[in-house]
């Protein structure tokens, strides 16, 4: 029998992609923030008890990294207390929980890619609240998968890809941080990888693990690594190429640029110090995906291939589909 799946965060970058993929696995119940605000414990209880899901996929989060510095109570409520209550309710009804976390649980001092077993030491409030969410889930002992990912972008929503495209219509010169390393991960590729892991678990064939056996934390990011500066340059190259080719094939690009021309002529690398953000971010937040690959045979494409896919004429953004 197909499971009932409760999906939170369906309007987000990742959530909207999951909302179109998860129906392949089961019956999806996907309340939006008005129907299920993770800051409201009673709502969480009510929805969990009404929907009685076998699987809860939590793609909702407080993701505004800078705002979290001064809005810690809300960030903690959404990123830690809400997931704790989802986990508590899931355990109560015997459901399994899939939760997403972040590369920003690490402090970035390691030179090599981070392993799941490396110690977390977040530098900012967002990272601390996400780590608290992870810990609450583990402590409750609910059967869970925590997928840590990084630098999510999509052709919709608030993200670096769209910010660069907008800035490229406004400024001749962009100055972008070149000393923070990470792996930009497209929400669609991430959703596909997560769905593929779940599909293998639910298929329950001999080579695949059951959910309880798989229980734990997995890193799940694009392959490869880059800096924000290199990522920005790759975005502009892809956008200019798409604009030359057939811009009418990419309505999302016209919307991201307000149908204006790209005027940026120079992209300059700067240091984190020069950028002067009040929020600290790790210098290296590249995650090793070895465990995901070994346990599930799932590997995400290289970040450059993921970016190219967004600019392909075949790409259909999740938010352009009827909900
Ligand atoms: N973005 C990144 O670069 C990044 C990097 C690493 C890890 N992650 C993690 O990956 C996951 C997905 O991130 P994302 O980038 O897809 O997030 P996103 O685009 O910012 O979407 C967040 C979702 O959470 C919902 N939400 C926010 N506050 C809520 C509340 N109080 N109650 C219920 N829903 C609420 C939002 O609803 P509205 O649309 O109504 O606001 C939206 O649907 C999160 O766990 C995030 O921490 C993200």
Per-residue pLDDT tens digits for 198-254: 998 888 653 345 888 889 999 999 999 999 999 999 999 999 999 888 777 888 999
Does residue 151 have its Cβ closer than 6 Å to ligand 1?
yes
Residue 323 and residue 192: Cα distance in Å, rounded? 18
| 6-63: pLDDT as tens digits | 999 999 999 999 999 999 999 999 999 999 999 999 999 999 999 999 999 999 999 9
Does residue 12 have its Cβ closer than 6 Å to ligand 1?
yes
Q: The tokens of 57 are what? A: 């996929």
Looking at residue 209, what is its pLDDT?
54
Average pLDDT, the chain: 94
Looking at residue 313, what is its pLDDT?
82
What does the pLDDT average to over 61-77?
Answer: 97
pLDDT at 319 over 90: no
pTM: 0.96
| 132-171: pLDDT as tens digits | 999 999 999 999 999 999 999 999 999 999 999 999 999 9
Does residue 11 have its Cβ closer than 6 Å to ligand 1?
yes
Return the closest-CA partner of residue 83 out of 123, 115, 122, 48: 48
Protein residue with its CA nearest to atom 13 in ligand 1: 14
Does residue 38 have its Cβ closer than 6 Å to ligand 1?
yes
| 279-300: pLDDT as tens digits | 999 999 999 999 999 999 999 9
Looking at residue 208, what is its pLDDT?
42
Residue 99 and residue 119: Cα distance in Å, rounded? 19
126 a catalytic residue: yes
pLDDT at 320 over 80: no
Could you tell me if residue 271 is left (phi over 0), alpha (psi between -120 and 50 degrees) or otherwise beta?
A: beta
- What does the buried/exposed string (b/e) look like for 112-141 if buried means 16 or more CB atoms within 10 Å of the residue's CB? ebbebebebebbbbbbbbbbbbbebbeebe
* DSSP state letter for 246: -
Protein residue with its CA nearest to atom 4 in ligand 1: 152
The best mutation among 6, 61, 97, 156 to test binding of ligand 1, ranked by most ligand atoms within 8 Å of the C-beta, falls on 61
The best mutation among 32, 65, 152 to test binding of ligand 1, ranked by most ligand atoms within 8 Å of the C-beta, falls on 152
pLDDT band at 317 (very low <50, low <70, confident <90, very high): confident
Burial of 294 (0-12, 13-18, 19+ CB in 10 A): exposed
Looking at residue 205, what is its pLDDT?
52
């Amino acid at each position: 029998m197909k499971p009932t799946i409760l999906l939170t965060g369906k309007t987000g970058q990742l959530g909207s992609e999951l909302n179109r993929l998860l129906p392949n696995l089961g019956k999806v119940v996907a309340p939006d923030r008005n129907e299920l605000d993770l800051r409201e414990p009673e709502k969480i209880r009510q929805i969990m008890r009404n929907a009685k899901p076998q699987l809860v996929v939590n793609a909702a989060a407080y993701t505004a990294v800078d705002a979290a510095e001064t809005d810690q109570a809300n960030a903690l409520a959404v990123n830690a207390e809400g997931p704790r209550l989802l986990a508590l309710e899931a355990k109560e009804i015997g459901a399994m929980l899939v939760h997403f976390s972040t590369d920003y649980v690490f402090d970035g001092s390691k030179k090599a890619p981070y392993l799941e077993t490396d110690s977390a030491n977040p530098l900012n409030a967002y990272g601390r609240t996400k780590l608290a969410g992870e810990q609450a889930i583990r402590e409750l002992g609910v059967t869970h998968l925590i997928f840590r990912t990084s630098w999510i972008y999509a052709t919709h929503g608030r993200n670096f890809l769209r910010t660069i495209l907008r800035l490229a219509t406004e400024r001749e010169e962009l100055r972008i941080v070149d000393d923070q390393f990470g792996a930009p991960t497209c929400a669609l590729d991430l959703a596909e990888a997560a769905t593929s892991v779940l599909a293998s678990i639910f298929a329950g064939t001999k080579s695949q693990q059951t959910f309880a056996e798989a229980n734990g934390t997995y890193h799940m990011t694009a392959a490869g690594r880059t800096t924000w500066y290199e990522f920005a340059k790759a975005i502009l190259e892809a956008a200019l190429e798409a604009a030359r080719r057939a811009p009418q094939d990419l309505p999302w690009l016209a919307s991201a640029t307000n149908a204006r021309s790209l005027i940026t002529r120079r992209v300059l690398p700067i240091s984190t110090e020069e950028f002067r953000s009040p929020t600290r971010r790790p210098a290296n937040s590249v995650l090793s995906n070895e465990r995901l690959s070994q346990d599930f045979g799932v590997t995400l494409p290289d970040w450059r291939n993921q970016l190219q896919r967004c600019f392909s004429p075949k790409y259909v953004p999740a938010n352009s589909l009827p909900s």
